[in-house]
Amino acid sequence: MLEVHHLFKTYEGKPLLEGISFTVEEGETVCLLGASGSGKSTLLRIVAGLEESEGGFVSFNGIDLASTPPHLRDFGLVFQDYALFPHLNVYDNVAFGLRMRRMGQNEIAERVASSLKLVNLQEFGRRKVTDLSGGEQQRVALARALATRPRLLMFDEPLGALDRTLREELLNELRSILHQTKIPAIYVTHDQVEAFAIADRILILHDGKIVRDGTPSDVWANPVSAFVAGFLGLGKVFEGEVRENTRNGKWKVESGLGVFTVHCGHEHQTGEKVHLLARPLTAESEANVISGVVVDVIFQQDRFKVTFDNGLYVYLKDAPKVGERVEARVKMECLA
Amino acid sequence: MSHPLNHGGTETRRFNDFSEFSASPRLKRFLHWLLPLAFLILFFFFPLSRILSLTFSPVAFTAENLQIAYSALRFTFYQAFLSSLLTLLLGLPSAYLFAHYDFRGKPLLRALTAVPFMLPTVVVAASFNALYGQRGLINTILQFSSSLFPLSSFAQNIHPSSFILHPFLAILLAHVFYNTTIIIRIVGNALSSLDPRLEQTARSLGADSLRIWWNVTLPLLRPSLFAASLLVFLFDFTSFGVILLLGGSRFATLEVEIYLRVLKLPNLPLAALLSVIQLVCTLLFSLLYTRFAARGTQFNPRSVTIKPKSLRQKIFVTALSFLLTAFFLAPLSSLPIRSLFRLEADRGQRGEVQYGFTIDYYTELFVNRRGSVFYVPPIQAAFNSLAYASATVVLSLLFGFPAAFALAKPTRLEKVLDPLIMLPLGSSAVMLGLGFVLSFGAWLTSPLLVPFAHTLVALPFVIRALQPAIASIPERLRQAAASLGASPLEVWRNIDLPILRRATLSAATFAFTVSLGEFGATLLLSRPEYPTIPVAIERFLSQPGGLNYGQAMAMATLLMLLTLVSILLIERFRMPNSGEF
């Protein structure tokens, strides 16, 4: 399906994308997750053909798209600010791409109706787009992109402008629509909750490179790098020095927070610097016990996030008092 | 492909569009600028270079030429200075009136004061003639009444029954008529943007009204006052039609002198020298204006208007609004009245003269008389004007659209080109005409040059009308359309054009109006057999006889109506917040 090969791009003289490669397979939703300014939207626009890369190329089904202008790529685009045509009503917005393909009136009517049904806006055809709410506008934008049955759908922070409850609702709808239509999709966001909810595969973009590529559960379980662990907020990341190789693949690591014995996938030299992740988990056989003075307690639905003076945090059922010294269990992991 | 797309028949179409898209951004910029720049180079910069090279040739700098240039320059400054002073005299109290008081008919009166600014110069000149001229309403009515009561001839010796405004005074008043709205707008906006708390503070600190005005209000108004005065001065300085039609060649400003030295007393090197002097002056004033305008306050109305309460306020509001109504309404209404009433003997009429209502002046426009001013029925001028105006609309949109598109997303290139595009605004219409005469001598017999000259005048306005509208379209809309399969051409047709419909109509109407009223360049370029309405009015007015005069009035009335309709259309299409002046 879609293959992106070694894309390079600079922005105002500074490298933005430094050799990005990935693929999107049939029916797969790939999520590009990155901080704002990481170049993920630029990457999307290059795939769409709206911007040119300075190196590398994009191909679809093995065909290089370099000479295919955006309007012939047949990739649907959904923007954060919807980009609905203000001079057209809902029906004409959704019909736009079909008219560009010179379809017959009856077929257009059919397709528009089915697209609007897909996004639950059956009765909205004659409404002015400027009179719709944000959520409704985004549904129209989605229907408009779906109507042409593109061979790839691209979402650029599509829910960024919506409030939280609406976002969750639309996210669920979007996921089921993508599953239903089996259109491969690239979904760009900086919101990890969104990314983990919708993605079949997550790509994390950082410093112009893809630093992690895997299924949501894989990425969650093995962040691999300190950046990913920190970016996803999996726990407190801190530095330590390898002291000793205890047997059965475990290493003794010394840090400002104490000495920990952690499981590690790779070999280390004594004295080597490594990053450790203290993942707050409530029940875990391999947990390390840490203690600290409570500096902050935040209520989170069925638990409390308790932060210690050394920066570590855990989730507890009962709230301790600030200033109290508490013991808690975390799972220490080694990040290369 | 997961979804076979069933529009195979369109596949060939889609591949044809390739070439337009493979264009790099730089190439696209170049293509945007190709037509407008080619037009400007051929029709503005090339003629300008001819004028410059003629100016800096030895034949131009003779003692006699310099003498004429000096006296023309002096008189131009003199009349512009007096006109501006008079305009301020009427404009400042009016600005105060509109900024501070609420009274019945205020919006209407405000609109009335703005009408002349948009009227063609020939219409304003004809209106003044229709009121104050020798054959004007006042004079003919006086004569008419004295002929009815001949016995009062004794009294006539004391109060002569003839009233003709001195031409110079008529010119000055016409300038006031034209430009008072500038003072009202700029100074009035500044006045209503003043923070009323400043005045209240000054009062609480013990300042009386006069000292508040002198020490608080005036200093705060100064930038906008300067800017408004300079703009008025600039318009008075370059005034041509009003001076020529109301004063004649006796009142030789730079503009009139250029016209004379091209058509009446040919001396092209002198004309070139004069127009360079003119250009340098206008550019200097424009620069000064831009500096003051930038320092002026943003329009941010805060002070509330009040109903006149005290007797003094009531007298001020009543007297001034009455004066304004009379001053602005009288000329505008005398024009149509004078075109519909026979008040004196027409040429060739002897003995019994029919006074009263007539439509002869209009029907006469359709008659091709031997020995008349034209070789064609005068109404042909109206058809010519409409044809030229239509051509101007097409041309100015053709050149204006790509330039406006490029300017809507400015790069360094556009920052350089933007002032170049606006440069024709700084050069007077007569100068543009002179440039054409010098550059396209061989083509002067053809009617094709006129629409190009009109386009030159209209283009800056067209670009300024389109540019903000284009810039207001989010790029995302075009990208969304492209992702839905619209080729660049289809994007333009389905997205840009419908959204820009209002701005385009506004720009087109503007170009149309500019062309209809354009006088200076047309006078130098139009052939006798292809007159336009303004040129025809000038010819009629310069001929003797009541019939010619009546026809001038009829023509001017037609032009006024056409222009007023256009103004209404522009106002309807106008984007909110799209600039003034």
Token pair of B275 as six digits: 């127009």
Name the β-bridge partners of A244: A252
Give the residue among B475, B473, B491, B408 at the shortest CA–CA distance from A79.
B475
Confidence category of residue B391, pLDDT binned at 50, 70, 90: very high
Same domain, A220 and A264: no
Confidence category of residue B48, pLDDT binned at 50, 70, 90: very high
CB B516 within 8 A of CB B562: yes
Token pair of A327 as six digits: 């013991």
CB B555 within 8 A of CB B537: yes
Name the β-bridge partners of A288: A330
CATH number, domain with residue A286: 2.40.50
The SS3 of residue A64 is: strand
Q: What is the pLDDT of residue B325?
A: 94
Token pair of A22 as six digits: 């990935």
Distances (CA, A) of A156 to A28, A196, A216, A335: 17, 16, 19, 31
**pLDDT above 70: residue B299:** no
Tens-digit pLDDT string for chain A (336 aa): 899 999 999 888 888 899 999 999 998 999 999 988 888 888 998 998 888 889 999 999 999 998 888 888 899 889 888 888 888 899 999 999 898 888 999 999 999 999 999 898 989 989 988 889 888 999 999 999 999 899 999 999 888 878 888 888 889 889 999 988 899 999 999 988 899 989 999 999 998 899 999 999 999 888 888 889 888 888 888 888 888 777 777 788 888 777 887 877 777 778 888 888 888 875 555 667 777 888 888 888 788 888 888 888 888 888 888 888 888 778 888 876
Of A226, A261, A292, the residue that ends a domain is: A226
Average pLDDT for B216-238: 88
Token pair of B524 as six digits: 């130098």
Work out the minimum CA distance from A97 to partner chain B, whole angstroms.
Answer: 5
What is the CA A129 to chain-centroid distance, rounded? 29
Same domain, A289 and A208: no
Cross-chain CB nearest to B2 (options A73, A154, A183): A183
Q: What is the pLDDT of residue B400?
A: 92
CA contacts within 13 A on the Cβ side of B86: 19
Q: What is the DSSP letter of A321?
A: P
More reliable by pLDDT, B295 or B225: B225
Provide, as residue numbers in chain A, all residues whose Cβ is less than 8 Å from the Cβ of B479: 45, 48, 50, 70, 77, 79, 83
Give the residue among B537, B500, B501 at the shortest CA–CA distance from B516.
B537
Provide, as residue numbers in chain A, all residues whose Cβ is less than 8 Å from the Cβ of B1: 61, 151
- Other C-beta atoms lying within 10 Å of the C-beta of residue B160: 10
pLDDT tens-place string over residues B533-545: 999 888 888 887 7
Sequence-ordered strand ranges (E) for chain A: 2-11, 14-24, 29-34, 55-60, 63-64, 75-78, 152-156, 185-189, 201-206, 209-214, 236-246, 250-255, 258-263, 273-280, 288-300, 303-308, 313-316, 325-335
Cα angle B283-B286-B292, degrees, rounded to a multiple of 5: 145
Provide, as residue numbers in chain B, all residues whose Cβ is less than 8 Å from the Cβ of A184: 2
Q: Residue A325's domain spans which residues?
A: 235-335
| Dihedrals phi, psi of A242, to nearest 5 degrees | -70, 130
Provide, as residue numbers in chain A, all residues whose Cβ is less than 8 Å from the Cβ of B484: 71, 76, 96-97, 100, 144-145, 148
Provide, as residue numbers in chain A, all residues whose Cβ is less than 8 Å from the Cβ of B483: 48, 50, 70-71, 73, 75-77, 145, 154
Element (H, E) at A283: none
Name the β-bridge partners of A209: A206
**pLDDT above 90: residue B316:** yes
**How do strand A201-206 and strand A29-34 relate by DSSP bridges?**
parallel
Cα angle A119-A125-A131, degrees, rounded to a multiple of 5: 90
Name the β-bridge partners of A327: A291
Q: What is the DSSP letter of B357?
A: E
Residue type, B510: F
Distances (CA, A) of B260 to B56, B99, B191, B267, B507: 20, 43, 43, 9, 33
Token pair of B410 as six digits: 């400015």
Number of H helices and number of E strands within chain A? 8, 18
The SS3 of residue B306 is: strand
Give the residue among B324, B326, B359, B319 at the shortest CA–CA distance from B342.
B359
Does CATH number 2.40.50.1070 belong to domain B57-147+160-344? no
Query: What span, in angstroms and rounded, lies between the C-alpha atoms of A131 and A137?
Result: 9
Same domain, A83 and A149: yes
Same domain, A57 and A178: yes
Same domain, A158 and A66: yes
Q: List, by residue range, all CATH 1.10.3720.10 domains of chain B.
A: 23-54+364-581, 57-147+160-344
Query: What span, in angstroms and rounded, lies between the C-alpha atoms of A132 and A139?
Result: 10
Residue type, A145: A
Confidence category of residue B1, pLDDT binned at 50, 70, 90: very low
CB A105 within 8 A of CB A173: no
CA contacts within 13 A on the Cβ side of B139: 15
CB A297 within 8 A of CB A320: yes
Of A193, A226, A259, the residue that ends a domain is: A226
Same domain, A211 and A258: no
Give me the number of domains chain A comprises: 2
Same domain, A100 and A12: yes
Name the β-bridge partners of A29: A185
User: Which residue of chain B comes nearest to A149, CA vs CA?
Assistant: B3
Token pair of A118 as six digits: 């897909």
Of A194, A226, A258, the residue that ends a domain is: A226
Q: What is the pLDDT of residue A112?
A: 94
Token pair of B116 as six digits: 């002349």
Q: What is the pLDDT of residue B576?
A: 47
Token pair of A41 as six digits: 């939207």
Q: What is the pLDDT of residue B578?
A: 41
Same domain, A96 and A199: yes
Largest CA distance in chain B: 105
Which residues in A have their CB inside 8 Å of a CB on B?
26-27, 45, 48-50, 61, 67, 69-77, 79, 81, 83-87, 96-97, 100-103, 141, 144-145, 148-151, 154, 182-184
Query: What span, in angstroms and rounded, lies between the C-alpha atoms of B410 and B392?
Result: 26
Cα angle B346-B347-B350, degrees, rounded to a multiple of 5: 80
Q: What is the pLDDT of residue B151?
A: 52
CATH superfamily, domain B23-54+364-581, is: MetI-like (1.10.3720.10)
Average pLDDT for B155-165: 59
Q: What is the pLDDT of residue B341?
A: 79
Give the residue among A143, A146, A130, A142 at the shortest CA–CA distance from A89.
A130
Query: What span, in angstroms and rounded, lies between the C-alpha atoms of B387 and B396?
Result: 14
Helix %, strand %, coil % of chain B (to 5): 75, 0, 25
Please, which residues have CB within 8 angstroms of residue B61's CB and are 6 or more apart in sequence?
B273
ipTM above 0.90, yes or no: no
Same domain, A208 and A279: no
pLDDT tens-place string over residues A235-273: 888 888 888 777 777 788 888 777 887 877 777 778 888
CB A224 within 8 A of CB A336: yes
pLDDT tens-place string over residues B338-375: 888 776 655 555 555 566 777 777 777 777 765 556 66
Suggest the residue from A54, A63, A72 to mutate for an interface test with chain B (most B CBs closer than 10 A). A72
Residue type, A312: L
Same domain, A114 and A25: yes
**pLDDT above 50: residue B22:** no
CATH number, domain with residue A206: 3.40.50.300
Give the residue among B267, B228, B258, B227 at the shortest CA–CA distance from B240.
B258
Provide, as residue numbers in chain A, all residues whose Cβ is less than 8 Å from the Cβ of B10: 101-102
Q: What residue has token string 């508040």?
A: B212
Do B482 and A50 lie within an 8 Å CB cutoff? yes
Q: What is the pLDDT of residue A205?
A: 92
Query: What span, in angstroms and rounded, lies between the C-alpha atoms of B496 and B473?
Result: 8
**pLDDT above 60: residue B579:** no
Q: What is the pLDDT of residue B243?
A: 92
Work out the minimum CA distance from A1 to partner chain B, whole angstroms.
Answer: 8
pLDDT tens-place string over residues B482-534: 999 999 889 988 988 888 888 888 889 889 999 999 998 888 888 777 889 99
Do A69 and B2 lie within an 8 Å CB cutoff? no
Give the residue among B527, B512, B126 at the shortest CA–CA distance from B339.
B126
Do B499 and A86 lie within an 8 Å CB cutoff? yes
Q: What is the pLDDT of residue A201?
A: 94
CB B275 within 8 A of CB B430: yes
Query: What span, in angstroms and rounded, lies between the C-alpha atoms of A137 and B513?
Result: 41
Element (H, E) at B342: strand B341-342
Cα angle B385-B389-B391, degrees, rounded to a multiple of 5: 120
Residue B154 near chain A (CB below 8 Å): no
